[in-house]
Amino acid sequence: SVGMMGDNSTTGSVTPLQPFNVADIIVIVAYFALNVAVGIWSSCRVNRNTLSGYFLAGRSMAWWPIGASLFASSEGSGLFIGLAGTGAAGGIAVAGFEWNGAAVPCNDPCISAAQIVTMPEYLQRRFGGERIRMYLSALSLLLSVFTKISTDLYSGALFVQVCLGWNLYLSTVLMLVVTALYTIAGGLAAVIYTDALQTLIMIIGAIILAVTAFSKIGGYQNLAEAYLKAVPAKIIPNTTCHLPRVDAMHLFRDPVSGDLPWTGMTLGLSVLATWYWCTDQVIVQRSLSAKNLSHAKAGSILASYLKMLPLGVIIMPGMISRVLYPGEVQTDCVDPDECVRVCGSEVGCSNIAYPKLVVELMPSGLRGLMIAVMMAALMSSLTSVFNSSSTLFTMDIWRKIRRNAKERELLLVGRIVTVVLVAISVVWIPILQSSNSGQLYIYIQSVTSCLAPPITAVFALAVFWRRANEQGAFWGLMLGLALGLARMGLEFAYPSPRCGVPDERPALVKDVHYLHFAILLCALTAGAVVGISLLSRPPSDLQVARCCWSLVRVPRWALCRAGGPHDSVPLILSPSVTDSQEGAPGTCPCMDSFCSPQGVKTEGPPAKALRDTTEAPFWARICCINAVILMCVNVFCYAYFA
C-alpha cells in the first residue's frame, strides 16, 4: 500500500499502511482538545493587549516552560523526519548536530538586560543606524518562510500521508488553522505553554517507539551488525553509495572523505549552532520572556539536557527502520522509478524511516499517540515560527514604516502577519509536493551554512570586541551574503549526482563540505568586519556601554539620553550625577531606557527602568553547577561515540 504514495502528486492522498481505528481517533481528538485548553488557559495568564504581554509573555516565564519550548521549537516535525532519515542513511554522526547545539545555548547579559523584543533590535542598539536591523529582519523572515515553515510542512504532510492516507491539503490546513488560532489569540505565552505540553507528549511517544524498535531487533548490541546488513535487493555493481556506511556507529568521520567530517562537525557546526541558539529570533524570544536571567539560563540548560535525547529516540530508531525495511528506506535510490513508487521522490526514501516505524510497529491507540506526537512537533515548530516572524515584521519593519504607530495598531499588525504566513504556507504546499527532498535535515543545514555564518561573526564581534562599528558590521554582512548566495546558487544548480553517476560538480561544491564552507564564510566575514572597523571611526564608549561584554557592568548612573524612544543617539553624560547613584535604576544606550536626574531636561515618554540582570547567588550557583554537569555529560557522549 505504501507504493500508492507515487500517486500523491495528483490525488493528494494515499492508502494508510495500517487500518486507523476508533482508539487512534480518540487519542488524537483528546490531544487536540488538551492542546486547545492549555492554549486558552495560558493566554489568560498574561495581558495580551500589550506589546510585552503578546510578544514576550509579559517577561514572566519560569525556567521549565522556557526550556520545554526551546526544545519543542528546535525539534519540529522536520527534525523528527530529518534526523531519523539521515540516521537511516548514514548512521549516528548526525547526532553531533544535536549535541553541539546542547553545548552552545547562551544567555548574554547584554541581551537579557536590554529592553528589546527582537535580536536585530539589539544590533541596532549596539551599532546604531537602521540598515543592519532592517537587513537581518528581512533575511530572518525569508529563512522562516522558505526553510523552517516549508520543511516542517513537507515533513508533516509526508507523515500524515504515510500514516493516515488523509488528503494532503485537508490535513495540513487543519493543523495550520489550529496552530494559528492560539498563536494569534494568545501570543507567546500560549505558544510556550502548549510547547511544554507537546514536549512531554513528544518525549513519551518517542521513548515508547524507541523501546519497541530496539526490542524488535534484539537490543542495542545488535544494531551495528544488523545495520551493516541492511542492503537493498537491487544494487549497482562497483559502487558503495547505496550500501550502509562502515563507519555508521562513529560520531567523528574522516575530514576529507567523510559525509560529516569531524572538522566540520566541531568548528563549522559551532558556527551554525551559535547563530541558531544565540541570534535566531525563535530562540532568543523565549529567553527574553524569562522572569530574570537565572530563569533564562535554567531554561537553556533544561533544553540542552533534552537535546541529548534524539540519538536514542530518533536517530537510532531511524537506523532500525532501515534494518527492518531495507527495500523501502533507501538513501540513494538504485531504481528511481521504484523510489517514486515507494515515497514519491527519485533521490531517496530515507525520509520515510520514522513514519514507517510508527505505522508498522505501534499497536492501536499508541499509533494514535505517535501521530499526535508528530502533529505536536509540527504545531510547536510552526507556532514558534509564526509568533517570532510576526514579532520581527511588527517591531523591526512596520515600526520603521509607521514610526508613530500606537500599541493597538502594532498588536493588530502582529496578528495579521500570522494570518499572512498561514496563507503563504498553504500556497507553498504544491511546491513542496513536487520537490525532491533527499535527506531533509542535510538540506536544512546546507542552506543554513550559506546564510547564517556572517550573522554569527557579526554577533560575536558585537558582543566581545568593542572596536567593531556599524560600517564594518554592515559591509561584512554584505560580503558574507554575496559569498553565501554564490555557494547556494551553485548547490541548487549542481545537485548531488545519483548513485553510480560521475560527480561533475564544480570544485567549490564537490570538494568543500558545507560545514567547512561555514567556517570559511564566518572567518572571511569576521576579517572584513575587523578590517573595515579599524579603517573607520571607532564607536564611542557611550554607544557600546552595556551592549558589549567588556562594558556590560558599566555604572548605570554614567549614562543618560536626551531623545525620542527610537533614537540611538545622542547620548549625554550628566555631570550632576554622583558615584553614590551607581546601582540605582537607570539607563543604558543599548536599550530604550533613559534617566532624568535633577538639572537634566529630557523629552519623550517617562523613564523606563532598566531590566535587572543581577542574580540571586544561590540560583546562580545552581545554574553554574548544572551547566558543568551538562558539559561533562556532553563530553562523555562525544568521547564514547567518537
Residues linked to residue 560 through DSSP beta bridges, in sequence order: 572
Return the higher-pLDDT residue of 137 and 236: 137
The domains of the chain are located at: 2-231+288-393, 554-612
CA-to-CA distance for 263 and 566, rounded, in angstroms?
43
C-alpha cell at 277: 541558539
pLDDT at 189 over 70: no
C-alpha cell at 320: 532500525
pLDDT digits (tens, 9 = 90+) for 367-398: 887 777 777 667 767 777 777 788 888 888 88
One-letter amino acid at 525 equals: T
- Fold assignment, 2-231+288-393: Sodium/glucose cotransporter (1.20.1730)
pLDDT at 620 over 90: no
C-alpha cell at 274: 551559535
Mean pLDDT of 143-151: 74
DSSP for 334-348, written as a single string: SSHHHHHHHHS-SS-
CA-to-CA distance for 52 and 46, rounded, in angstroms?
9
Q: What confidence score (pLDDT) does residue 473 get?
A: 95
Q: What confidence score (pLDDT) does residue 8 get?
A: 40
CA-to-CA distance for 193 and 198, rounded, in angstroms?
9
pLDDT digits (tens, 9 = 90+) for 396-454: 888 888 888 887 888 788 878 877 877 776 776 665 554 444 566 777 788 889 999 99
C-alpha cell at 11: 490525488
Mean pLDDT of 489-512: 82
Residue 357 has a CB neighbour count (10 Å cut-off) of 25
CA dihedral 116, 119, 122, 128 (to 10 degrees): -120
pLDDT digits (tens, 9 = 90+) for 289-317: 788 888 888 888 999 999 999 999 999 99
Q: What confidence score (pLDDT) does residue 598 get?
A: 35
One-letter amino acid at 376 equals: A
Secondary structure of 530-547 as H, E, C letters: HHHHHHCCCCCHHHHCCC
The lowest-confidence range among 111-120, 125-134, 178-187, 591-600 is 591-600
CA-to-CA distance for 468 and 533, rounded, in angstroms?
5
Q: Long-range pairs for 259-264 at CB < 8 Å and ≥24 separation? A: 259/90, 259/93, 260/90, 260/93, 260/94, 260/96, 260/515, 261/513, 261/515, 261/516, 262/642, 263/515, 263/516, 264/513, 264/514, 264/515, 264/516, 264/518, 264/519
CA-to-CA distance for 2 and 18, rounded, in angstroms?
10
Reference 124, options 594, 556, 565, 601; nearest CA is 565
Biggest CA pair distance of the chain: 86
Residues linked to residue 561 through DSSP beta bridges, in sequence order: 571
CA-to-CA distance for 343 and 337, rounded, in angstroms?
10
How much of the chain, in percent, has pLDDT values that exceed 90? 21
One-letter amino acid at 592 equals: D
Instruction: Look over the chain and give the mean of its residue pLDDT values, rounded to a whole number.
Output: 75
pLDDT at 108 over 90: no
Cβ neighbours for 113, distance < 8 A, ≥ 6 positions apart:
293, 546, 552, 588, 591, 610, 611, 612, 613
Distances (CA, A) of 138 to 130, 142, 237, 446, 461: 12, 6, 49, 20, 21
pLDDT at 323 over 80: yes
CA-to-CA distance for 185 and 179, rounded, in angstroms?
10
pLDDT at 568 over 50: no
Of 103-112, 252-261, 553-562, which has the strongest mean pLDDT?
252-261
Secondary structure of 439-464 as H, E, C letters: CHHHHHHHHHHHHCHHHHHHHHHHHH
End-to-end Cα, the chain, rounded Å: 40
